[in-house]
Amino acid sequence: MLYRIGTVSEIPLLGSKFPRQVIHHLQACTALLDASYGANRNYFEEGGYSILIETPQDLCLVDHTISLQEHPCEWVDLLSGQRDFLAALYLMNDDYSIVVYMPLSIAPHHLLQELNA
């Protein structure tokens, strides 16, 4: 299943679906967006949001929606834990970004190359 989180106040809706290291990273990234653009913003128009995915089908949906290969990936982080995850920041334009979180096991080749660079 795919989850879209735009503000810190939405993070508790995830419950315990994702590992702790993912939630901590998500909190830090989302808090930065809230501080920069406001916690009450329409995050589809201002600042950006995070997407958390669990399956290869989710990854295909995200890739189809935001074209991961076409947009520059600013950074890739490995979030190590019981289940390793990858976090990748995509810059959609000068003032809008999307952070994509995914299990390392389904990460596309180009992100794994970024991680090893």
Q: What is the pLDDT of residues 87-112, one digit of tens each?
A: 999 988 888 999 999 999 999 988 88
Q: Spell out the per-residue pLDDT of the chain, length 117, in tens.
A: 899 999 999 999 999 999 999 999 999 999 999 999 999 999 999 999 999 999 999 999 998 888 877 877 899 999 998 889 999 999 888 889 999 999 999 999 888 888 776
For residues 4 and 6, give the distance between their C-alpha atoms in angstroms, rounded to a whole number: 7
Q: What is the dihedral of CA 115, 73, 95, 57, to 10 degrees?
A: -100
Contact call for residues 19 and 27 (beta carbons, < 8 A): no
